[in-house]
Amino acid sequence: MNQKNIVESHQLCIGYNNKSLTEPFDLKLKENCWYGVIGANGSGKTTFFKTLLAEIKPISGHLLIMDSEIGKHNCHIGYIPQERELNANILTSAYSIILSSYNAHRWGIPIYSKTLKKIASDIIDTVGASDFAHKPFNTLSGGQKKRIYLAQALISEAKLLLMDEPLADLDPQSKKGFLDALRKIHKQTTLSMMMISHDMHEIAQYLDAFIHFRDNKVHFCKEMPCIKESAYVGI
Amino acid sequence: MWEYDFMQNAFIAGTIIAFICGIISYFVIVRRIAFAAHALGHISLTGAAGAAIIGLSPMSGLLTLNIISAIIMGLIGDRIRKSDMAVGIVLTFFLGIGAYFLYLYQTGYAGSIMAIMFGDILSVSSRQIFIIVILTSIVLISLLIIMRPLLFSSIDPTIASSKRIPSEALSIYFLILLAITVSMACQIVGALLIFALLVGPGAAASECCDGFYSSLSVSIGVSILSVWLSLLISFYANLPTSFCITMLISFFYIISLFIKRLRMRHV
């Protein structure tokens, strides 16, 4: 099957405040693939995500997302940051938060049609959140919240999902639940997923390829050995 | 009661303002900018006093100054990422100028300025109703245009910025709508009690509701019901209207706390 390019970089150099974190690198990431992003703290993983989201400008080189300049297709990029603050009221359910995420970039009033509610219920099923989606968001556990974030990304019809350390702070059972949801999404949709994690040994078997930040260089490797060289990824 | 023109005017103006305050109040609570609503109320005094000195109507003065303050608050708040600090600084500056204006305008102090401080819904004229209708329409239409991204950027600011929703511009835009609403509401509850209509209904709704539209409906309902009941009570019991409004909104907030406790038991 001829897979489309979701992310394409040419001689891209990322960093911030004019300080480069990497040497120029070329990447071609395809749709319907699940990529692991690994590297030591401060090696540029999160900066790479922020560059993809056009929140930080590349130092040099070219970066295309879905064949357009960065920033043009952000409505189709789902993002689960490491830290976030949600201003949910005490009784605001996770379901209401998911609904409010639908087409949030468009002007006008929010319209919650029956079709949208049906789509939301299906997505909630997919991420395994049916049991708690109607409970107040603030009463959910860390693992449950992460699955709601997934549903939030999916309802916006994301084509690329960026996850920054989604497994951090989760107990083994929550990790398993979250990974099961990701595997199901990977199977059922053509969504491309990129995931920063320090627990790569737990998920390596599910991933299609790895983007490896090391010594100011960015490697793209399909095989495990390249990763195994690095002690800090935990393998 | 209905045979009196002033009561008819009070009901019309009160209902329109309560309706728009109910909507704005919901966003004030979700966006956590109650302090800005409070500060704009106080800054209204400076606007009204300034207008009185140069011989303009209090409404034109407070509307102009509130909009200028809202823009400054939005711009500084964005730059230093601490909106409370920005509001506090702008409030200090304009309240100081307001004190000086009042010093200059001591002869007229007791009249129009007092009306702005405590509100005077029973003296609303047909001309004022006309202005209120125009301003409410402007606020409502402007709000409907940005409602979806405004709601999302209020609830989930990090993801909103990742979707390139212009959160900072929306923030200033909403502060301007808040400034216009504050300018209108000043005439009913007064600058000192502005908290009542711009925070109370949204706070009550946020305590006992889940979804966006149910919260908005409760907020509008609490706001309108408080104004209507206050007008009735003040007419028959001869009590100040703004006092009744604040008491009733507090009462509704307490009821919402009970509803929240009941609902939380079933979670």
For chain A, list the strands marked E by DSSP. Answer: 5-13, 15-16, 19-20, 25-30, 34-39, 60-65, 68-69, 77-80, 160-164, 192-196, 209-214, 217-221
In the predicted structure, residue A233 carries a pLDDT above the cut 70:
no
| Chain A partners within 8 Å of B163 (Cβ) | 74-75, 77, 104-105, 156
Task: Give the model's confidence band at A4: pLDDT under 50 very low, under 70 low, under 90 confident, else very high.
Answer: confident
Average pLDDT over residues B166-191: 90
pLDDT digits (tens, 9 = 90+) for A66-99: 999 999 999 999 999 988 888 888 899 999 999 9
Least confidently predicted of A118-132, A159-173, B83-97, B98-112: B98-112
pLDDT of the residue at B133 = 95
- Out of A55, A91, A106, the one facing B209 most closely (by C-beta) is A91
Task: Give the model's confidence band at B266: pLDDT under 50 very low, under 70 low, under 90 confident, else very high.
Answer: confident
| Chain A partners within 8 Å of B257 (Cβ) | none
| Chain B partners within 8 Å of A70 (Cβ) | none
Q: Do A101 and B164 touch (CB under 8 A)?
A: no
Using the Cβ of B211 and the Cβ atoms of chain A, whether some distance falls under 8 Å is answered with yes
Chain A to chain B Cβ contacts (< 8 Å): 109
- Out of B30, B264, B267, the one facing A87 most closely (by C-beta) is B30
Q: Do B31 and A104 touch (CB under 8 A)?
A: no
Nearest-Cα residue of chain A relative to residue B213: A110
**Considering only the top CATH level, what class is B5-265?**
mainly alpha
B-contacting residues of A 113-152, CB under 8 Å?
Answer: 135-136, 139, 152
Q: Return the CATH superfamily for domain A5-233.
A: P-loop containing nucleotide triphosphate hydrolases (3.40.50.300)
- Mean pLDDT rounded to a whole number for chain B: 89
Using the Cβ of B157 and the Cβ atoms of chain A, whether some distance falls under 8 Å is answered with yes
- Mean pLDDT rounded to a whole number for chain A: 89
Tokens of A8: 């394409």
Decide: A90 and A139 in contact? Cβ < 8 Å: no
Using the Cβ of B5 and the Cβ atoms of chain A, whether some distance falls under 8 Å is answered with no
Nearest-Cα residue of chain A relative to residue B33: A87
ipTM of the complex as predicted: 0.90
Average pLDDT over residues A192-207: 88
| Domain boundaries defined on chain A | 5-233
A-contacting residues of B 162-181, CB under 8 Å?
Answer: 162-165
In the predicted structure, residue A48 carries a pLDDT above the cut 90:
yes
pLDDT of the residue at B30 = 92
**% of chain A surpassing 70 pLDDT:** 94
pLDDT digits (tens, 9 = 90+) for B183-219: 988 877 788 778 789 999 999 999 999 999 999 999 9
Using the Cβ of A76 and the Cβ atoms of chain B, whether some distance falls under 8 Å is answered with no
pLDDT of the residue at A1 = 56
- Out of A87, A105, A109, the one facing B155 most closely (by C-beta) is A87
Long-range contacts of A221-228 (CB under 8 A, 24+ apart): A227/A36, A227/A38, A227/A200
pLDDT of the residue at B232 = 94
| Chain A partners within 8 Å of B173 (Cβ) | none
| Chain A partners within 8 Å of B141 (Cβ) | none
State the Cα–Cα distance between residues A48 and A69, nearest whole angstrom: 15
In the predicted structure, residue B113 carries a pLDDT above the cut 80:
no
Least confidently predicted of A160-169, B56-65, B132-141: B56-65
pLDDT of the residue at A65 = 95
The CA R_g of chain B, rounded to the nearest whole Å, is: 18
In the predicted structure, residue B63 carries a pLDDT above the cut 80:
yes
pLDDT of the residue at A166 = 93
| Chain A partners within 8 Å of B206 (Cβ) | 89-91
- Candidates A49, A53, A89, A159: best to mutate against B (most CBs of B within 10 A) is A89
- Map tokens 């195994």 to a residue: A228
In the predicted structure, residue B140 carries a pLDDT above the cut 80:
yes
Average pLDDT over residues B91-102: 87
Tokens of B76: 């500084």
Least confidently predicted of A65-74, B25-34, B52-61: B52-61
In the predicted structure, residue B81 carries a pLDDT above the cut 60:
no
The larger pLDDT score, comparing residue B142 to residue B124, is at B142
Average pLDDT over residues B19-42: 92
The larger pLDDT score, comparing residue A125 to residue B109, is at A125
Task: Give the model's confidence band at B262: pLDDT under 50 very low, under 70 low, under 90 confident, else very high.
Answer: very high
pLDDT of the residue at B206 = 94
Average pLDDT over residues B46-65: 87
| Chain B partners within 8 Å of A105 (Cβ) | 149, 163-165
- Out of A77, A92, A139, the one facing B210 most closely (by C-beta) is A92
- Candidates B30, B142, B164: best to mutate against A (most CBs of A within 10 A) is B164
Ordered alpha helix ranges (H), A53-199:
94-100, 114-126, 142-155, 172-188
The larger pLDDT score, comparing residue A134 to residue B88, is at A134
Task: Give the model's confidence band at B111: pLDDT under 50 very low, under 70 low, under 90 confident, else very high.
Answer: low
pLDDT of the residue at A66 = 94
State the Cα–Cα distance between residues B37 and B107, nearest whole angstrom: 29
**% of chain B surpassing 70 pLDDT:** 95
| Domain boundaries defined on chain B | 5-265
| Chain B partners within 8 Å of A94 (Cβ) | none
Nearest-Cα residue of chain A relative to residue B162: A53
Least confidently predicted of A32-41, A120-129, B78-87, B169-178: B78-87
Identify residue B230 by its one-letter amino acid code: S
- Out of A81, A91, A100, the one facing B212 most closely (by C-beta) is A100
Residue B130 CB coordination number (10 Å): 10
State the Cα–Cα distance between residues A210 and A217, nearest whole angstrom: 13
Task: Give the model's confidence band at B108: pLDDT under 50 very low, under 70 low, under 90 confident, else very high.
Answer: low
pLDDT digits (tens, 9 = 90+) for B219-249: 999 999 999 999 999 999 999 888 899 999 9
Nearest-Cα residue of chain A relative to residue B159: A79
